[in-house]
Amino acid sequence: MRFLPDQDHRSYTATVRRLLADAGALEAARAWAAGDHAPGRALWRSLAATGLPALAVPEERGGLGRHPPELASAFVEIGRAGAPGPLAETVAVAAGLDAGSPWLADLLTGEHLATVTDPGAGYAVDAHLAEVTFVLVGEGVTTAGPPGEPSRSVDPSRHLVRCVPGEPVPADARRIRALATLLTAAQLLGAGQALLEGSVAYAGQRRQFGRPVGSFQAVKHQLASVAVALEFARPLLYGAALAVRGDAAADPRDLPAAKAACSRAAYQSARTALQVHGALGYTDEYDLTLLLRKVRALYPAWGTRAACHAAVLSGELLPG
C-alpha cells in the first residue's frame, strides 16, 4: 500500500497551517485555560469554514465526503499549533451522527462544539463548554446526563467533566470512536514535531562550555532518535486513516498501531525537549510548556498504549 498526498491534499494542509499561525493558536490556548473561550471558538469557526468537520461526513448528509487522510493531516497541524477545545471529538461526533440529526448543521459550521466519552473513561473533555455531549455505550450512543463539576487536566486548556449516559440517539459508535482515536494520534504526532523543532532551535542557541549544546554528540543522538520515531509513526498514521476510510488494502490493526506509535514518539519528543531546555521547560510562560502538557494529556486519550497493543494482537480496529 502506498500513500501519496495529491496537490489538493497538500494545499489544504498548508491552508490549515497558515490559518492556525495567523490566528495565534497558542495564545487562544492560554486564553482558553484562563476562562476566555472566545478566541478558541473563533479559531474553530475559521477552521470549520475551510470544510474541516465536513471532511468526515458523507455528501448525502451535507458533508464533503469521507476523507480521513486529509483530516489526519489537518489535525497534525492542529496538534503542532496547540489549538484548544474538543476539536477531535467534535469532528468525530459529526461523522457519526445520522442524517437528520438536529445537531449536525451547527457542528459543520463551527457554531457548536461537541464532546464525547465512554463509560470506561468516565469523563468528557470540556463538556461544560460543549453545546452537546454524547456517551458511547457499547455499540450505541446516548446523550449525556447532567454534567458534573469540571476538573483541570494536566493540560490547563483541557477540563475533564464526569458524564453518565442519558437518552439513546441514532449514531455510529464505531465510527465516532475510530475517528476520535485517529485524530488524537494525529494531534500527538503534530505536537511531537513542534517540540522537536523547538528543541533543535534551542539546542543551537543554548551554550555550555563555550559551545552550543546541539554540538554535543549525546544531544544530537537524542534529537535524531526523536526524529526517527516521529517519521516511523507518520506512515502508520496514514495507514490508519485508510483503515478508517475502509480501504480494502488497509489492515484494521493499523489504527491502534498508529495511536501507540504516535503516543510513544510524542512522549519521547516531550522528554527530550525537557532535557534540552532544562529548567526553562518547566516555565509556565514558555510556549513549549503548553505542548509538553498537551502531549501528557493526549497520551492515554482514546486508547492507552497497553490497550492499543492488545488491540493489535487481537486484530481489532479500535483500541480498548
Residue among 39, 145, 44, 53 nearest 105 (CA): 53
> Is residue 58 situated within a structural domain?
no
> Is residue 252 situated within a structural domain?
yes
How would you classify residue 256: left for phi > 0, otherwise alpha for psi between -120 and 50, otherwise beta? alpha
> Is residue 241 situated within a structural domain?
yes
> Is residue 69 situated within a structural domain?
no
The CATH number linked to 233 is 1.20.140.10
Domain that holds residue 280: 175-314
> Is residue 77 situated within a structural domain?
no
Quote the Cα angle for 120-115-111, to 5°: 175
Number of domains into which the chain is organized: 1
C-alpha–C-alpha distance, residues 143 and 166, integer Å? 5
> Is residue 303 situated within a structural domain?
yes
Give the pLDDT score at 217. Answer: 76
> Is residue 249 situated within a structural domain?
yes
Give the pLDDT score at 285. Answer: 80
CB 54 within 8 A of CB 110: no
How does pLDDT run along the chain (320 residues), one tens digit per residue? 556 788 899 999 999 999 999 999 999 999 999 999 999 999 999 999 999 999 999 998 889 988 999 999 999 999 999 999 999 999 999 999 998 899 999 999 999 999 999 877 879 999 999 999 999 998 899 999 888 899 989 999 999 999 989 999 999 999 999 999 999 999 999 999 999 999 999 888 777 777 777 667 788 899 999 999 999 999 999 999 999 998 888 888 999 999 999 999 999 999 999 999 887 777 888 888 999 999 999 999 999 989 999 999 887 655 43
C-alpha–C-alpha distance, residues 216 and 204, integer Å? 10
C-alpha–C-alpha distance, residues 99 and 122, integer Å? 28
> Is residue 248 situated within a structural domain?
yes
Q: What is the pLDDT of residues 167-226, one digit of tens each?
A: 999 999 999 999 999 999 999 999 999 999 999 998 887 777 777 776 677 888 999 999
Give the pLDDT score at 309. Answer: 92
